[in-house]
Chains A and B, each alone.
Chain A
Amino acid sequence: MRRSKLTILLAIGGATLLFLALTTTGIGQGGTPAAGQRGAQAPALPGAPAAGAAGGQGRGGGNRGGGQGRGGGNAAPAQPTPRWPDGKPMMGSVPGQPTGRWSGGPTRMAARDLDQVPFQPWAKAVFQQRQIDQFEPHTRCHASGASRQFSTPYGTELLEMRDLQRIYIMDEGGPHSYRIIYMDGRQHPAKLIPSNYGHSIGHWEGDTLVVDTVGYNEKFWMDTAGTPHTAQLHFVERFTRSDFNTLQYQATIEDSGAYTAPWTTAMFTMRWTANSDLFEYICQDNNHGPELMIGSQESEDRSRQFVP
């Protein structure tokens, strides 16, 4: 009798150990193929469900990329900044190596201490009101320029086309759009039709890519926190890839329509998510906020798992 009990206990223990071993290595894992890849990589954005919580699904409406959802694949091991033959840093994927994208852009450019930001009175009031009522155009599938372009749930790709002397910034989520940074030495046109992404020209200052943008319209928020701007916005971004996995980002805002003086944000850090690609994301499909799109709904509960 004692021997049979011991046998049962050993059998249970063995089965438990086998189960643990299988789940740890992923052999026994069901569900989506991406389930084991997501999780640790995704930088959490305010108001978004934790990475992995949605079972392989991305945030919000639209087509979801299954295993290509927010956060993507495993982070690459730490390496030095990749460089082109002329010594300039590579801002995106390295030719011949697995592709990747940047995640974790600034969600709030204004300092926590709002007195540090030279708001005009109306701009400060609007910013504070936006902390209560969040009617962000991005949730209505509008393209969002300035630093908001880097705060999408699925990351951003910087695609350098050196032969054409331009860099494309592709953002996932929202309207699935892109911005062009002209690197050919041109100036801003004297007359610009205001647009969501504005007109961007870039140059190098050492290892830092400096991007100067004007010609914005007022149809978007500069960040997810609702930092206001007007069409007078002059936005200067500084990108520094300090190592393979790290992109430092800082912006200077000059907008006499909303601020009494130019101001510079803190330094933000974006992280490289290796082994991942952008995927097709159609914001308008299955959008959970049609009422917000046509303006008939007055509020949106952002504590829900799915936020449009």
Chain B
Amino acid sequence: MKLKVLTGFSLLVVLALTAAATAQEGHPMTGTWYGDFGTSATNRNDLVVILNWDGKAVSGMVNPGPDLVKIKLATLDSTKWAVHFEADAKNKAGGMDHFVFDGTMKNVVAGNRTINGTWTCGTTKGDFKIQRDL
């Protein structure tokens, strides 16, 4: 039974990722982005971001799965290719941590474009780098 549930859940995740990955040449933020974030070169954590443009706003999620985090706000300033997104994630104490990511998109026209930048969560801060899945 557990196996069936797990298989079904995995299938849903794959379908979600596939649907997002089909969008490639539309809005530059749309797609699935892979990379990492951390406080230093040795303290790194995986980061998967799925973003979608509906014509008016960008929505999405961070690290899809049982502990996915919905993105509260995501914007693109196309004059500077500046990317901004925010998300609230549950912490171990049961509270919420507010993450803010600010980065710059590079190789905008390429399918494997990247976003590099910094993040903050309260007083903690660091850097992140994600690359768009082709």
Contact = CB atoms under 8 A, between A and B. Distances in A.
Q: Is the interface of A mostly helix, strand, loop or mixed?
A: loop
B108 A298 contact: no
Nearest to A124: B78
A211 B110 CA distance: 31
A184 interface: no
A134 B107 CA distance: 11
B21 to A, nearest CB: 10
A232 B52 CA distance: 13
A219 B79 contact: no
B100 interface: no
B45 interface: no
A134 B30 CA distance: 19
Contact of B110 (A124, A219, A226, A298): A298
Contacts of B78: 121-122, 124-126
Contacts of B24: 137, 218-219
Interface residues of A, number: 31
A228 B108 contact: no
A176 interface: no
Given A122-B78, A230-B55, A218 B23 contact: yes
Residue of A218, A228, A232 with most partner-chain B CB within 10 A? A218
Contact of B26 (A125, A218, A226): A218
B109 A230 contact: no
A250 interface: no
Interface string A179-200: 0000000000000001000000
A133 interface: yes
A291 to B, nearest CB: 11
Q: Is the interface of B mostly helix, strand, loop or mixed?
A: loop
Contacts, number: 74
A121 B112 CA distance: 22
Interface string A20-45: 00000000000000000000000000
B76 A135 contact: no
A298 B107 contact: yes
Contacts of A219: 22-25
Interface string A215-229: 001111100001011
A257 interface: yes
Contacts of A121: 78-79
Interface in A247-267: 256-258
A307 interface: no
Contacts of A220: 25
A295 B112 CA distance: 6
Contacts of A295: 110-112, 134
Given A137-B25, A219-B24, A125 B79 contact: yes
A194 to B, nearest CB: 6
A117 interface: no
B109 A129 contact: yes
A257 B110 CA distance: 20
Residue of B23, B27, B76, B109 with most partner-chain A CB within 10 A? B109
A226 B134 CA distance: 18
18 contacts: A121-B78, A122-B76, A124-B78, A125-B78, A125-B79, A126-B109, A129-B108, A133-B107, A134-B109, A137-B25, A194-B22, A218-B22, A219-B22, A230-B26, A230-B27, A295-B111, A298-B107, A298-B110
Q: Closest 10 interchain pairs by CB?
A: A218-B26, A125-B78, A257-B55, A295-B112, A133-B109, A230-B26, A218-B23, A122-B78, A256-B55, A135-B109
